């Protein structure tokens, strides 16, 4: 059986939190809601519904891409009204589309391993078909429902799709004492270079959720003008890991900290032998039985990355600090009531000041929930159509990449 997204415990809680009135759930954003006056000064620009907050330096450029933003965001009754109910319901009860993968393992420069899951049946696609790289959240992988729904949507439009399973995630092999982290751009660089060389005639795009979104934005900002991607989307990105860490240990949010801690512990336990030879550096015993995600990161993650403390790791891994350097089209989608990626961490001002970025904030959505739209409550999240509108728009206007001779040679060898 496939594992549930968010890597929550195998059995749902016996009691769900009480559904509170809508006005008590939503933390009102400090910026104004979307309107024709605030979004653009061009009269021909399509309008968007006031239930959505839309901003960013790229609004004028990207808003015409979207076919449904003029409609109100309508959360599914009961399940979509409370952020905890929505998050838990999506994790346990959202259906899983049938998807078949073929796995490819890459060897990294540090002798590590990365698992790429390609969607079966894409060999018949044209060589210049747009290619989409998907980055799941913390401990997530190609088995998660939100990942599968996105790739099904993209495949239906003729896109080639591959899931990037971070080290140790998605049952990928682990060969070095290095597991998934919020900031390890070398792996993302390796994956993008590999996919680009395999399909040199195709435009490459990426979508990341939660921690995968943070990894993606960190990569985009680090590469800046050198980034070979033609566009990207970030969803439920925590952006500011310091704020996210504090928020994760408050009140009912402890249930998510516990679920993520247990998922991290399961992955680490399978690979603990790789860390035992370095016990003076890693605190293996704490890594096997951490009490919080923060405690695990202090014992294992920050050591693997060379940081002196977990606070240094968090502060240096925030994608909010590097978003200003993004030079490719980037759509960020956040939920105002997200319990894991709090909206307070979203760098609104940097997004507004970057002509390549656009932000959409929905009033509800929880974390990786977005139980709204025609497919609610058991089907695809509301965001899938929005994401594909954006990517299709970019692909329509994109120029074809000019592959180098070495890229063409490598692609010929792999066919």
CATH of the domain at 357: 3.40.50.1820
The share of the chain scoring above pLDDT 90, in percent, equals 81
pLDDT tens readout for residues 228-240: 999 999 999 999 9
Residue 260 pLDDT grade (very low, low, confident, very high; cuts 50, 70, 90): very high
- 306 Cβ partners below 8 Å, 6+ apart? none
Q: Tell me the C-alpha distance between 347 and 350, whole Å.
A: 5
* Number of domains the chain contains: 1
Q: With a cut of 70, say whether residue 105 has pLDDT above it.
A: yes
Q: Is 329 contained in some domain?
A: yes
pLDDT tens readout for residues 76-91: 999 999 999 999 999 9
Determine phi and psi for 106, rounding to 5 degrees.
-105, 145
The DSSP result for 33-94, as a single string, is PP-HHHH-S-TTSPP--TTSEEE-TTHHHHGGG-SSTTS---BPTTTTTSHHHHHHHHHHHS
- Tokens in use for 220? 């985009």
Strand order in the sheet with 231-235: 53-55, 357-362, 330-335, 231-235, 204-209, 131-135, 160-165, 113-119, 101-107
Determine phi and psi for 75, rounding to 5 degrees.
-65, 145
Q: Is 7 contained in some domain?
A: no
Task: Centre a 10 Å sphere on the Cβ of residue 281 and count the other Cβ atoms it contains.
Answer: 13
Q: With a cut of 60, say whether residue 39 has pLDDT above it.
A: no
Task: Go through the chain and tell me how many residues it has.
Answer: 415
Q: Which residue range is the domain that position 136 belongs to?
A: 53-58+69-240+319-395
> Residue 47: its pLDDT value, please?
74
| Catalytic machinery residues | 210, 338, 367
Q: Is 245 contained in some domain?
A: no
Q: Is 307 contained in some domain?
A: no
Q: Is 130 contained in some domain?
A: yes
Which of 8-17, 81-90, 270-279, 354-363 bottoms out in mean pLDDT, i.e. has the lowest? Answer: 8-17
Residue 15 pLDDT grade (very low, low, confident, very high; cuts 50, 70, 90): very low
Name the strand (E) or helix (H) holding 233. strand 231-235
Q: Is 413 contained in some domain?
A: no
Q: With a cut of 60, say whether residue 17 has pLDDT above it.
A: no
pLDDT tens readout for residues 365-387: 999 999 999 999 999 999 999 99
> Residue 280: its pLDDT value, please?
65
Question: What's the pTM?
Answer: 0.87
> Residue 405: its pLDDT value, please?
46
Q: Is 6 contained in some domain?
A: no
């Amino acid at each position: 059986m496939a594992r549930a997204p968010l890597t929550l415990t195998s059995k749902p809680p016996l009691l769900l939190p009480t559904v509170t009135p809508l006005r008590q759930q939503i933390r009102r954003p400090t910026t104004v809601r979307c309107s024709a006056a605030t979004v653009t000064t061009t009269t021909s620009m399509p309008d968007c519904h006031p239930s959505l907050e839309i901003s960013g330096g790229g609004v004028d450029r990207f808003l015409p891409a979207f076919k449904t933003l003029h409609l109100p965001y309508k959360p599914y009754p009961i399940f979509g009204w409370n952020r905890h109910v929505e998050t838990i319901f999506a994790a346990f009860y959202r259906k899983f589309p049938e998807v078949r993968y073929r796995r490819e393992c890459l060897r990294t420069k540090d002798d590590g391993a990365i698992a790429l899951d390609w969607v079966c049946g894409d060999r018949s696609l044209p060589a210049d078909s747009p290619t989409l790289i998907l980055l799941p959240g913390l401990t997530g992988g190609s088995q998660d429902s939100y990942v599968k729904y996105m790739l099904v949507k993209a495949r239906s439009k003729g896109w080639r799709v591959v899931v990037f399973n971070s080290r140790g995630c998605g049952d990928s092999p682990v060969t070095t004492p290095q597991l998934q982290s919020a900031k390890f751009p070398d792996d993302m660089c390796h994956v993008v270079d590999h996919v680009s060389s395999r399909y040199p005639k195709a435009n490459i795009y990426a979508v990341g959720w939660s921690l995968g979104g943070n990894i993606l934005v960190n990569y985009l900002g680090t590469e800046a003008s050198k980034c070979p991607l033609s566009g990207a989307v970030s969803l439920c990105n925590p952006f500011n890991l310091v704020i996210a860490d504090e928020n994760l240990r408050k009140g009912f949010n402890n249930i998510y900290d516990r679920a993520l801690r247990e998922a991290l512990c399961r992955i680490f336990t399978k690979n603990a032998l790789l860390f035992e030879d370095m016990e003076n550096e890693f605190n293996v015993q704490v890594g096997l039985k951490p009490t919080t995600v923060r405690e695990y990161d202090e014992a294992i993650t920050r050591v693997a990355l060379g940081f002196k403390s977990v606070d240094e790791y968090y502060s240096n891994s925030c994608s909010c600090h590097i978003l200003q350097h993004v030079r490719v089209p980037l759509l960020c989608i956040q939920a105002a009531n997200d319990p894991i990626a709090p909206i307070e961490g979203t760098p609104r001002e940097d997004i507004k000041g970057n002509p390549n970025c656009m932000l959409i904030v929905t009033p509800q959505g929880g974390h990786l929930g977005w139980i709204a739209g025609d497919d609610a409550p058991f089907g695809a999240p509301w965001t899938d159509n929005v994401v594909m509108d954006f990517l299709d728009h970019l692909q329509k206007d994109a120029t074809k990449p000019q592959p180098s001779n070495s890229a063409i040679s490598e692609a010929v060898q792999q066919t």
